[in-house]
């Protein structure tokens, strides 16, 4: 049975999350930026929506340069809010985990998955499943993504790259060779500028040419391991399995407050449901935790945190409810500004084999 491997990548992720929060942005060029703080404009573009990309703006570009390119085009500059994207990302990953046989997240906005078992190697079935995954993400999060399906990770990744934005590329085992052959070898996962140059030196430009290359020649140039990988990648026979994602290391929830406030009680109250969600995650995963963090996003959109770490790991989730107001109380005293958004994170997760009794964490350390 051929393997059925998928790769999913969310489109212009940070910027698309911002568009969902403020739909009028969809009509305008948007750049999400990381400000270094040195001068008002210093920093880089983290990502840009496709409207902004039309003007040549891209990830990693200095903010000043991006602004120049977007001058007169009614663009929006947004400060990167990593917590926010993390929260959306973990929700999507959890949902995906239910929809596929095995999920291997490889970044904040992407994951490999395996559908071999549930499709019994049927690529028509795989197409339907991939479409329903796209529909689910659209329905739940209003976000578009790109998916590639193929018989190996390398092929699946090429498929999702090619499908960008918003598409689906299904490369069945029968069409893999003809799909790969005309592509530039530099498109293959793991083939950077240096490898591309060396390949060109031995007369290889396309994946088809690489697939026909002499194994010993590749091994001589690139070493046994990477040489072998190149040949496998070029023939769509790289055998790397999809490995279930790492154990979660944290659970978090961030909400936008009904009104800006610095009252810890009011903040804790509005985080009630988020805390309940975290309780649920703790119980269902059988984890205990060491650290509770209060996350405050202020009216100037800066993020401030305050945490408390317990000496022993805690499995009683009511501790979160007790700790959060105190942490927000401390936070609000130091910042002198209102919170616009607020969140809770628990981390230092461990498997809760032995239940820690309440008395054991009554003397917390900082
Ligand atoms: N990112 C970043 N700095 C970079 C590249 C990316 O901060 N140099 C962040 C912002 C992106 C996210 O990581 O939204 C995901 O990166 P991708 O490379 O997948 O790029 P995008 O999702 O933004 O766009 P695409 O539609 O091309 O996938
Ligand atoms: Ca992406
Ligand atoms: Ca990505």
Tell me, in angstroms, the distance from the centre of ligand 3 to residue 112's CA. 11
Alpha helix ranges (H) inside the chain: 13-21, 50-53, 63-69, 82-99, 116-119, 123-141, 153-163, 176-180, 193-201, 207-211, 215-234, 264-270, 272-285, 318-335
Is 110 catalytic? The answer is yes
How far, CA to CA in Å, does 251 sit from each of 188, 219, 268, 285, 307?
Answer: 35, 45, 17, 11, 14
CA 257 to chain centre: 24
Tell me, in angstroms, the distance from the centre of ligand 1 to residue 90's CA. 16
309 three-state secondary structure: strand
Does 47 sit in the ligand 1 pocket, CB within 6 Å?
yes
Does 167 sit in the ligand 1 pocket, CB within 6 Å?
no
pLDDT mean values, one per 10 residues, the chain (366 residues): 97 97 96 90 96 97 97 97 87 91 92 96 98 97 97 97 97 97 96 96 97 96 95 95 80 91 94 92 87 91 89 89 95 91 90 50 40
Q: Say what the pLDDT of residue 302 is.
A: 81
What pLDDT digit, counting tens, does each position of 304-345 carry?
899 999 988 898 889 999 999 999 999 999 988 899 999 999
CA distance 145 to 14: 12
| Residue of 32, 92, 109, 146 best suited for mutating to test ligand 1, as the one with most atoms within 8 Å of CB | 109
Task: Based on DSSP, count helices (H) and strands (E) in the chain, helices before strands.
Answer: 14, 13
CA distance 357 to 364: 13
Q: Say what the pLDDT of residue 147 is.
A: 98
CA distance 80 to 88: 14
Could you report how far apart the first and last alpha carbons of the chain are, in Å?
A: 55
77 and 70 Cβ atoms separated by less than 8 Å: no
Q: Say what the pLDDT of residue 356 is.
A: 42
DSSP assignment of 57-112: --TT-BHHHHHHHTTTS--EEEE--HHHHHHHHHHHHHHHHHHSSEEEEEETTEEE
CA-CA-CA-CA torsion sign (317, 321, 323, 327) = positive
Q: Say what the pLDDT of residue 247 is.
A: 64
Q: Of the candidates 42, 53, 44, which has an alpha carbon nearest to the alpha carbon of residue 75?
A: 53
Backbone angles phi, psi at 356, to 5 degrees: -85, 130
Q: At what angle do helices 215-234 and 193-201 cross, to 10 degrees?
A: 130
Q: Say what the pLDDT of residue 91 is.
A: 87
Tell me, in angstroms, the distance from the centre of ligand 1 to residue 42's CA. 19
Structure-block tokens of residue 91: 């929700």
Any residues with CB less than 8 A from the CB of 244 and at least 6 apart, and which?
102, 103, 104
Structure-block tokens of residue 70: 């977007």
Q: Write down the catalytic residue from 18, 19, 104, 110.
A: 110
Q: Say what the pLDDT of residue 345 is.
A: 93
pTM of this structure: 0.75
Does 332 sit in the ligand 1 pocket, CB within 6 Å?
no
Does 46 sit in the ligand 1 pocket, CB within 6 Å?
yes
Any residues with CB less than 8 A from the CB of 33 and at least 6 apart, and which?
43, 44, 45, 46, 63, 66, 77, 78, 79, 80
15 and 53 Cβ atoms separated by less than 8 Å: no
256 and 342 Cβ atoms separated by less than 8 Å: no
Structure-block tokens of residue 173: 């085992």
Phi-psi region of 72 (alpha: psi -120 to 50; beta: other; left: phi over 0): left
What pLDDT digit, counting tens, does each position of 221-259 carry?
999 999 999 999 999 999 999 999 766 778 888 899 999
Pairing of strands 287-298, 303-314: antiparallel
Does 11 sit in the ligand 1 pocket, CB within 6 Å?
yes
Does 276 sit in the ligand 1 pocket, CB within 6 Å?
no
Residue nearest to atom 2 of ligand 1 (CA): 46
Residue nearest to atom 27 of ligand 1 (CA): 12
């Amino acid at each position: 049975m051929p393997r059925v491997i998928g790769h999913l990548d969310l489109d212009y992720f940070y910027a698309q999350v911002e568009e969902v929060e403020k739909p009028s942005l969809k009509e305008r060029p948007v750049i999400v930026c990381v400000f270094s703080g040195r001068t008002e404009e210093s920093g880089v573009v983290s990502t840009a929506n496709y409207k902004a990309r039309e003007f040549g703006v891209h990830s990693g570009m200095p903010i000043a340069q991006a602004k120049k390119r977007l001058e007169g085009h009614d663009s929006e500059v947004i400060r990167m809010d990593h917590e926010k994207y993390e929260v959306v990302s973990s929700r999507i990953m959890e949902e995906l985990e239910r929809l596929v046989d095995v999920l291997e997240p490889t970044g904040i906005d992407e994951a490999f998955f395996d559908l071999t078992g549930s499709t019994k190697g049927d690529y028509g079935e795989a197409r339907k499943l991939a479409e329903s995954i796209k529909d689910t993400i659209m329905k739940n999060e209003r976000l578009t993504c790109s998916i590639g399906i193929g018989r190996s990770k390398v092929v699946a990744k090429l498929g999702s790259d090619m499908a960008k934005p918003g598409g689906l590329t299904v490369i069945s085992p029968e069409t893999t060779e003809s799909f790969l052959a005309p592509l530039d070898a530099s498109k293959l996962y793991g083939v950077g500028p240096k490898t591309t140059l060396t390949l060109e030196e031995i007369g290889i430009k396309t994946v088809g040419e690489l697939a026909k290359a002499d194994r010993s020649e590749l091994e001589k140039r690139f070493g046994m391991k990477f040489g072998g990988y190149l040949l496998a990648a070029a023939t769509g026979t790289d055998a790397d399995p999809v490995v279930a994602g790492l154990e979660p290391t944290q659970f978090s929830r961030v909400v936008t407050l009904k009104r800006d406030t610095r009252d810890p009680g009011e903040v804790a109250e509005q985080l009630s449901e988020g805390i309940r969600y975290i309780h649920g995650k703790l119980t269902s995963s059988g984890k205990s935790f060491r650290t509770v963090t209060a996350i405050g996003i202020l009216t100037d959109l800066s993020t401030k945190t305050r945490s408390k770490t317990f000496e022993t790991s805690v499995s009683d989730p009511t501790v979160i409810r007790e700790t959060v107001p105190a942490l927000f109380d401390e936070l609000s005293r130091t910042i002198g500004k209102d919170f616009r958004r607020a969140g809770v994170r628990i981390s230092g997760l461990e498997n809760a084999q032995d239940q820690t009794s309440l008395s054991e964490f009554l003397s917390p350390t900082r």
